[in-house]
Amino acid sequence: MDTWYHDRYRATGLPDYTNRTFAPELAEHPVLLALYYDSGLAQLVDQLLSPAPATPAATAQVQIRLPDAAP
């Protein structure tokens, strides 16, 4: 995320980022998806929604807090 923020973040894209996701090109990154699937969170969601099945997550939504000086 640091690399993305320093190399690709565009202040003009802030409305799109906050409505969708920051770093959209990382939304399918295996490490981000593993935060959901390998942490036990997916199983917790399944338990909370039971008996209805949870829809598998294919993408991650990245939200970041911008430094105070950022637009």
User: What three-state secondary structure class fits 68?
Assistant: coil
Higher pLDDT, 57 or 67: 57
pTM over 0.85: no
Q: Please report whether residue 29 resides in a domain.
A: yes
Q: Please report whether residue 36 resides in a domain.
A: yes
Instruction: Give burial (CB, 10 Å; 0-12/13-18/19+) of 22.
Output: buried
Domain boundaries, position 21: 2-49
Q: Please report whether residue 11 resides in a domain.
A: yes
Residue 35 has a pLDDT of 93
**pLDDT tens profile 28-61:** 999 999 999 999 999 999 999 999 989 999 999 8
Structure tokens at 63: 């939200």
Percent of the chain with pLDDT over 90: 42
DSSP 8-state class, residue 16: H
Q: Please report whether residue 10 resides in a domain.
A: yes
The CA R_g of the chain, rounded to the nearest whole Å, is 15
Q: Please report whether residue 26 resides in a domain.
A: yes
